[in-house]
Amino acid sequence: MSGNPETGNSEAGEPVTGKVWFITGSSRGFGREWATAALERGDRVAATARTVESIADLSARFGDAVLALQLDVNDRAAAFEAVAAAHKHFGRLDVVVNNAGYGHFGFIEELTEAEAREQFDTNVFGALWVTQAALPLLREQGSGHILQVSSLGGIVATYPGLGMYHASKWALEGLSQALSVEVARFGIAVTLIEPGGFDTEWSGASALRSERLGAYDEIRAEQSVVRKQTLAKGGDPAATAAAVMAIVDAEHPPLRVFFGSAPLRLVKREYAERIAEWEEWNDLAVAAQGQ
Amino acid sequence: MAEKVWFITGASRGFGREWAIAALERGDKVAATARDISTLDDLVDKYGDLLLPLKLDVTDYDADFAAVAEAHAHFGRLDVVVNNAGYGQFGFIEELTQEEARAQIETNLFGALWVTQAALPFFREQGSGHLLQVSSIGGITAFQNIGIYNASKWALEGFSQSLAAEVGPFGVHVTLIEPGGFSTDWGGSSALHSTELPDYADAHAAAAASRAARYSSPGNPSATSDVILAIVDADEPPLRIFLGETPLATAKADYASRIAEWEKWQHLSSAAQG
């Protein structure tokens, strides 16, 4: 889907009417793909990364259409400052993408206190702080779109070894579903983007891993086989850019959308299994109601 | 059936107290924790040695490990661990302070996680054990004005489902208990409320009306006890179970609406695969 045909060329210094984006975690993965796609169609992007050098090439290529911001989303005050700086610089904010995040691999018993907290800090609180910072600005405009990068793992959690990552993405899902009801009255849309497996560095260089307990080695080995089978069918991150543009250009964007062809089938099966179990035990559930 | 040894957090009131009493009444042994241990005095008087009262704030990682170890040392085993301590933080997402958001997650999510981690080595060594995580219908669906509570319970759901796959091979069970509205103190004196933003005044009125409709006929907490006993006595307990008449219909409606939306956008999902 193309952007606004009246979008100007910021490099030529002409007035621009395209969208203004704020994208966290723009150094690599989906954040980088989407920042590049938005810039290529003439939108303007405040791109954040923990090290601003990692997005210097975007500034070199797209000039004034990019505002490169150093940001660790764990820092609430810094998140508020970055969002305010972006709004002041471009004069408005249309699309806020909470993309910064990573996967922490480890069985529940293996997680240290620090590992568990850090996973939640980045994947949930980071997104919450940026969201809170953007809301007053979006409410004042009477428009805006918050994209939360969730995961198929934010909907299902049937596999071992990723429990804290699941916790973080499920939390983002619950928070964002509530948020969507809260801010619809102000003209603000919320969309949870739920990718299946993609060939980003998510499970490679970006991932963190707990120290292993021998007791779980057997289950870990079985799980490793399952993971390799899943990753063999990884999607192409570059193909997601057009989908993101279609979502931000939609008049009525969805609350949830999968990226990848496989998640829908998996989730329908998982939901059917949950409902079957709840129904099997529903006599007890109703008995618990009492008088 | 042989008597069981329980460890129950948040036993001062609500479900935790109901279930502690139900277990003690049938002769089970209970390590009951509360932030204010004097709230357990009447139970100590009534049940004597069957009860081990423990002072515990579940947000303290080291204290959780110490309390679980003490309960295990005292009774010689642990059969049922109930992560019940928790509360509801009300407030629109924009209204939450950093402290309010973090405190909700500390108690409802990390408190349960630390107690779970403390119990797992004992369960694995026994080759048996049952974790009951007190979730909510709000851990399955979400409502305005309670988003950070939803986040805490959804997170509990996600890690607990993953955990069930991790510890099933050791003979350890995990059950998520998902109550609908009950006449506990949950929405009353137990709840915390953010300072309201004036711009959300209309929204607060709408949220209150919606909540009143959802809780028009709350359940009776004491009616849940027999159900909890049935779950811990089951050979194959469920991963998830609702408490109350209304959650099943609520969950089915939300899931159906999600699936309809995903299907509507599936052409885009497939195109994004590349």
Mutate to test the interface with B, among A182, A185, A199 (most CBs of B within 10 A): A182
C-alpha distances in Å from residue A141, one per residue of B95, B148, B150:
19, 25, 28
Chain B residue numbers with beta carbons less than 8 Å from the beta carbon of A168 are: 155
State whether B229 and B258 are in the same domain. no
Pairing label, strands A256-259, A95-98: unpaired
**Tally of structural domains, chain B:** 2
A11-260, CATH topology level: Rossmann fold (3.40.50)
Q: For B244-256, how does the pLDDT look when each residue is reduced to its tens digit (9 = 90+)?
A: 999 999 999 999 9
- Which chain B residue has its CA at the smallest distance from A113's CA? B61
Same domain, B78 and B42: yes
The reply to whether A150 belongs to the active site is: yes
B4, B87, B136, B149: the catalytic one is B149
B261 and B200 both lie in a single domain: no
Contact list in A for residue B105 (CB cut-off 8 A) is 120, 124, 171
Contact at CB, B120 and A157, closer than 8 angstroms: no
Of B158, B167, B251, the CB nearest to A170: B158
pLDDT value, residue B82: 98
Do residue B23 and residue B140 come from a single domain? yes
- The verdict on B23 and B114 lying in the same domain is yes
Residue that is written with structure tokens 């301590």 in the block: B85
Q: Is B215 annotated in the active site?
A: no
If pLDDT is split at 50, 70 and 90, which confidence band does B190 have? confident
> Does residue B256 share a domain with residue B238?
no
Q: What are the chain B neighbours of A261 within 8 Å (beta carbons)?
A: 266, 269-270, 273
Within this chain, do residues B73 and B97 fall inside the same structural domain, yes or no?
A: yes
Name which of B162, B210, B231 to mutate to probe chain A: the one with the most chain A Cβ atoms within 10 A of its Cβ. Answer: B162
Cβ contact, residue pair A260, B269, below 8 Å: yes
The secondary structure of chain A as a DSSP string is: ----TT---GGGT----S-EEEESSTTSHHHHHHHHHHHHTT-EEEEEESSGGGGHHHHHHHGGGEEEEE--TT-HHHHHHHHHHHHHHHS---EEEE-----EEB-GGG--HHHHHHHHIIIIIHHHHHHHHHHHHHHHHT-EEEEEE--GGGT---SSSBHHHHHHHHHHHHHHHHHHHHHGGGTEEEEEEEE-SBSSSTTTTT-EEPPPPGGGHHHHHHHHHHHHHHHTT-B-GGGHHHHHHHHHH-SS--SEEEESSSHHHHHHHHHHHHHHHHHHTHHHHHHTT--
Q: Do B158 and A169 touch (CB under 8 A)?
A: yes
Q: Is residue B257 annotated as part of the catalytic site, yes or no?
A: no
Q: Same structural domain for residues B193 and B272?
A: no
CB contact under 8 A, A182 and B144: yes
Check A116 against B110: CB less than 8 A apart.
yes
A96 exposure class (CB count in 10 Å sphere: 0-12, 13-18, 19+): buried
Average pLDDT estimate for B79-107: 98
- Of the candidate ranges B102-106, B155-159, B206-210, the one whose mean pLDDT is the lowest: B206-210
Residues B39 and B153 grouped into a single domain? yes
B86 with B103, same domain: the answer is yes
Mean pLDDT of B8-23: 97
Catalytic residue among A102, A165, A176, A180: A165
Residue B269: give the domain boundaries.
Answer: 247-274
CATH code of residue B83: 3.40.50.720
Residue labelled with tokens 């250009």 = A249
Tens-binned pLDDT, residue by residue, of chain A (291 aa): 333 333 434 444 445 569 999 999 999 999 999 999 999 999 999 999 999 999 999 999 999 999 999 999 999 999 999 999 999 999 999 999 999 999 999 999 999 999 999 999 999 999 999 999 999 999 999 999 999 999 999 999 988 999 999 999 999 999 999 999 999 999 999 999 999 988 777 777 889 999 999 999 999 998 888 777 765 568 888 999 999 999 999 999 999 999 999 999 999 999 999 999 999 999 999 999 997
Domain shared by B132 and B257, yes or no? no
- Considering only CB atoms, B224 lies closest to which of A257, A275, A288, namely A288
Domains of chain A, residue spans: 11-260, 265-291
Same-domain pairing of B228 and B136 = yes
pLDDT tens-digit readout, A56-105: 999 999 999 999 999 999 999 999 999 999 999 999 999 999 999 999 99
pLDDT at A232: 57
